[in-house]
Amino acid sequence: MKQWVEFQNLNRISYRAAWDYQTILQKELIANKLAHRLSDGKYPLDYPQKHYLLFCEHPPVYTLGKSGSMAHLLLDEAALTAQSIDFFKINRGGDITFHGLGQIVGYPIFDLDLFFTDVHKYVRLLEEAVILTLKMYGLNGIRIKNFTGVWLEPKVENEPFRKICAIGVHISRWVTLHGFAFNIHTDLQYFKNIVPCGIDDADKSVTSLSAELGYTVSMATVQAQLKQHFADLFQFEFL
């Protein structure tokens, strides 16, 4: 059964407001699916459900996942305040990351019972949507074993692998929350205040699409490309 997804561009929104909004939508999806649960505790294969794909940008914020370490935040509270950077401990997987302007932050709120119940496959498809988008700009996005997200290989010997998209998710009753952060023309200086994703390997760093291409890319264009790849990979239609 073909699924339908409502796309919403939240534009520039505070991290707290977006987190609260995601949570409301996730609870609505969970309540709806529970209302259709059968007497044997299972779900029919065709119960009606509206999924969401949210895109936005956040003012500067560091978020720390439930498995992360505070030691990976290199600023104290006073420094965060002085630089007008928010900080949240949140319920996604993963360690610390940065969200800021010039970054596409994507929050799929999907009921995976109507797609597939496989967390590994879900994360791989998030990565694949970004990899396919990068390919449109002549860039070869890759995965690195044991490191979630999308990377670019070193251009020359002894240069680092460069992370261009971070991923961290939370799933409750197979309804997804949180998602990915794709650096388009993000100010990479903010990443110097953290150990990004808890990875302090000398052969790994962070990059953005514009840094790789040498020119500023239209956020709207990349969003449109990314949306289409999501629809193709998850085989849904937009409302």
Reported as a single tens digit per residue, the pLDDT across 186-203 is: 999 999 998 887 878 778
Q: Name the band, by pLDDT with cuts 50, 70 and 90, for residue 6.
A: very high
At 153-178, the pLDDT tens digits run: 998 888 899 999 999 999 999 999 99
Q: Residue 165 catalytic?
A: no
DSSP string, the chain: --EEEEEEEEEE--HHHHHHHHHHHHHHHHHHHHHT--TTS---TT----EEEEEEE-SSEEEE-TT--GGGB-S-HHHHHHTT-EEEE-SSSS-EEEE-TTEEEEEEE-BGGGT---HHHHHHHHHHHHHHHHHTTT--EEEETTEEEEEE--SSTTPPEEEEEEEEEEEETTEEEEEEEEESS--GGGGGGB-GGG---TTEEE--HHHHHTSPPPHHHHHHHHHHHHHHHHTEEE-
**Number of structural domains, the chain?**
1
Catalytic residue among 18, 53, 114, 197: 197
At 74-102, the pLDDT tens digits run: 999 999 999 999 999 998 988 899 999 99
Mean pLDDT (the chain, rounded): 95
The enclosing domain of 157 has a CATH number of 3.30.930.10
Domain carrying residue 176: 3-238
pLDDT computed for residue 199 by the predictor:
77
Structure tokens at 117: 């119940």
